[in-house]
Amino acid sequence: MSTACSPAARRGALLIIVTGLATLLLALSLAFLATMRSDGDRTREIVRDTQARIMLNAAISYVLETSRIGWGDSETQGWNDIRNHAVGPIPLNRNPEAGSLTQPSNAVWAASPSSWPAPGTAMRTAMAVWTRPPVAVRAGSRNPIRIGPGLPIQDDVDETRILLAGLHGDVGSYRSVSEVWRAGSYDRPDPEAVVDPRISAAAAAQFVAGDQRPRAGTAGRSWFRVYRETAADHNGDRDPYYDVINLNGGRGIDANGADRPYPPNASVFVVTCGAGATLGFRRWTEVVAAGAQQSFLNQQTYFDQLRGTEIILWYRIEWSPQAGDYGPMGRRKAYPRPNHSYFPIWNQISAMPSQAGSILWTQRLDREPPAW
């Protein structure tokens, strides 16, 4: 009896083998794609978390800068005015004693006590890279002084010194003094304005204003909010939940030399850092109040969906007028005063202090605060 398989049976077996191999390859491909997607999701989580943490630095910079500038033509004197600790910011050229220390008549928020930056109010900022920032300049070469026919840079033939001179942007063999020349030129300023303000008044205005249009791919990625606490938010009564230490009180000497109690601390803030596309709006009602529904396709469900994919971190910070020191690595030396007395001063400057105060402490909040 013959045991040979028929051609049809062989073809059927081959088809089963090929189908099995194809199924195996498909399963491996699906597993690989699922792994790639999982890795991509984890990477996106890391990127969003990093973006949210970067926003803490942006918010701190905002709090520092706006303690002194940004409220008009005059410089202000801190969130608690350094002259008498009144609730600021108050312009330098205005009397901080006008009104009361908790409701100063000359505070930048006095005319609108329910708007930022009054205590108990919040601001939001959606971050994006401008097409051209204000007063934008273009960096030139390492040495803007042109090299060419002119006066020799040095007079003695010393290859080491000539090589050092060449590091400033010269080209050549540097083998002799005659090959190293430099001539000053004022027709190529460095840094150079991106929009030359010398062309016309309109160009000067463009140079100062910049171009606020966001660069492609930079909008809708991150934001921050800053809530300015009231005195009741940090009086130690455990309401809100993080209020466990009374940050108010104390006494000090005012600008007139009088000892007086401090008004409440108005330099504590809740900072919310977000990575996502909600533009920093906390609720849909805020979107409607700002007239920004079109940014979310006029759909609250779309806004809620974006909120669900965001990473949000909360912090508390306190601003301090302490500006830092000029030279932690220097040594003190006595310099004469005009009246021939002496006072100690750093004679070696290793770092410039902040011109807008400093952050006294930063606290990470483990859950959402009631106001942000």
- CA 227 to chain CA centroid, Å, is 17
User: Quick one: pLDDT at residue 150?
Assistant: 44
Q: Is 291 left (phi over 0), alpha (psi -120 to 50) or beta?
A: left
Distances in whole angstroms, Cα of residue 68 to Cα of each of 126, 184, 327? 22, 39, 23
CB neighbour burial string for 70-86, b if at least 16 within 10 angstroms, e if fewer: ebeeeebbbbbbbbbbb
pTM above 0.95, yes or no: no
Cβ neighbour number for residue 270 with a 10 Å cutoff: 24
User: Quick one: pLDDT at residue 195?
Assistant: 85
User: Quick one: pLDDT at residue 67?
Assistant: 94
Residues 6+ apart with CB under 8 A from 226: 59, 62, 63, 122, 123, 269, 270, 271, 272
Residue keyed to tokens 């750093």? 346
- Sorting pLDDT into bands at 50, 70 and 90, what band is 14? confident
User: In the Cβ-directed half-sphere of 82, how many Cα atoms lie within 13 Å?
Assistant: 15
Identify residue 238 by its one-letter amino acid code: R
For the cut 50, the answer to whether the pLDDT of residue 330 exceeds it is: no
Phi and psi at 58, nearest 5°, equal -65, -45
User: Quick one: pLDDT at residue 230?
Assistant: 95
User: Quick one: pLDDT at residue 323?
Assistant: 79
Rounded CA-CA distance 11/8 in Å is 5
- Measure the CA dihedral 345/346/352/355, to 10°: -10
User: Quick one: pLDDT at residue 274?
Assistant: 94
User: Quick one: pLDDT at residue 310?
Assistant: 92
Mean pLDDT, residues 343-368 taken together:
70
User: Quick one: pLDDT at residue 285?
Assistant: 95
User: Quick one: pLDDT at residue 105?
Assistant: 94
- Sorting pLDDT into bands at 50, 70 and 90, what band is 168? very low
User: Quick one: pLDDT at residue 314?
Assistant: 96
Strand extents, DSSP E, 245-320: 251-253, 259-261, 268-275, 311-320
Per-position DSSP letters for 211-234, written without gaps between them: EEEEPTT-TTSEEEEEEEPPGGGG
User: Quick one: pLDDT at residue 280?
Assistant: 94
End-to-end CA distance of the chain: 90
Note the pLDDT tens digit of each residue in 108-142: 999 999 999 999 999 999 998 899 988 888 765 55
Note the pLDDT tens digit of each residue in 206-236: 988 899 999 888 888 899 999 999 999 999 9
Share of the chain above pLDDT 90, in %: 42
